[in-house]
Amino acid sequence: MTWTLELKHKQSSFRSAYTETLTELIQRDSRIMVLEADLMKSSATDGLFKAYPEHCINFGISEANMISASGGMSKAGLLPFAHSFAPFATRRALDQLYMSVAYSRNHLFLYGSDAGIWSQRNGGTHTANEDVAVLRSIPTCQVFDPSDPIQFRWLMRQYREQPGFYYVRGSRKNDIKHLYTEDSTFEIGKGVVLHQGSKVAILACGVMVHEALAAADHLRSHGIDPTIVDFFSLKPYDSGLCQHLFATHDLIVVAENASAIGGLGSLVALELARSNHRPRFRHLAIPDAFGEVGSLEFLKAKFKLRSDDIVNEVLSALLQ
């Protein structure tokens, strides 16, 4: 793992990273297949369908068939990349993911876009808060919540080098600030310690890494210098780092854009239960609730996923 923080304030969207990296991979590897369920314009892969028709298949609004077909492609030696909105990529095609991909030991890179609060105004039918919990429970499935487009690109390239069953969730059309430089590399199953502080450790994934970094700036004005960890790899995950943080910090705060049940908070709590150390533990996540309609800022406020909410959680825990 060799990463560097991006200091030039670059931004881009996950879907631009997706299409640009797919173009790169198609040009390098004849095995690459791009699978869509009538969302080519949403994911911006429509240009790929024109430029590389032999590498692209549109299954229409038929996600289960798309996933079943990906299993067959894998058996034939191909490397499928499939995309849909997170609820359709996971809930709608769950049995096919289990049987045609996981149980059959097939390869698939599954991009579930607009997960959690990223769904914004799409509403309850198009919102997946539970996708992390559901996919983490499937054997062979590796689950990732990358914090920026650079990490997302790295995962796509890693899938080509080390094929398997990858579920990668994230945003879609929103521009995201780059945390890492283009040449950064990571390691599956390892967290990224973005800043080493003391006493308080904030573990976050996805969009919440950005909120955690903003919270750290506020906390320093209170004399608190928290450790910040990008926990992008949710399965496999960094058990050793968890145990080290428990041994060296007084307060562990987890922040995630997913259900409070079965995600990053649950795996950290399990590690804490196994530990001989007993730091205090706080968890910010989406409650056991269905998705709602609203802007990104409205949903962050609704579910207390803002940097200010992290600051308040840390300060209230330290005052107890």
pLDDT at 124 over 90: no
More confident residue, 320 or 8: 8
Rounded mean pLDDT, 175-192:
97
Number of C-alpha atoms within 13 angstroms, CB side, residue 108? Answer: 33
Q: Distance (Å, rounded) from C-alpha 58 to C-alpha 52?
A: 13
Strand spans (E) along 207-278:
227-230, 233-235, 249-259
Record the pTM.
Answer: 0.96
Task: Encode pLDDT of 260-313 as tens digits.
Answer: 999 999 999 999 999 999 999 999 999 998 988 999 999 999 999 999 999 999
Residue 35 identity: L
Reported as a pLDDT band with limits 50, 70 and 90, residue 185 is: very high
pLDDT at 7: 86
Which of the following is catalytic: 63, 211, 256, 313?
Answer: 63
Residue 138 identity: I
- Quick check: helix, strand or coil at residue 128? coil
Q: How far is CA 64 from CA 46, 131, 166, 187, 230, in A?
A: 21, 16, 17, 31, 32
Residue with tokens 């955690």: 212
DSSP symbols for 36-86 = ESS-HHHHT-HHHHHH-GGGEEE--S-HHHHHHHHHHHHHTT-EEEEEEEH
**Known catalytic residue at 54:** no
- Quick check: helix, strand or coil at residue 100? helix
In order of start, what are the domains of the chain with their CATH numbers? 11-177 (3.40.50.970), 192-319 (3.40.50.920)
Task: Encode pLDDT of 224-261 as tens digits.
Answer: 999 999 999 999 999 999 999 999 999 999 999 999 99
pLDDT at 43 over 90: yes
Taking Cα atoms as reference points, which of 7, 316, 1 lies closest to residue 180?
Answer: 7
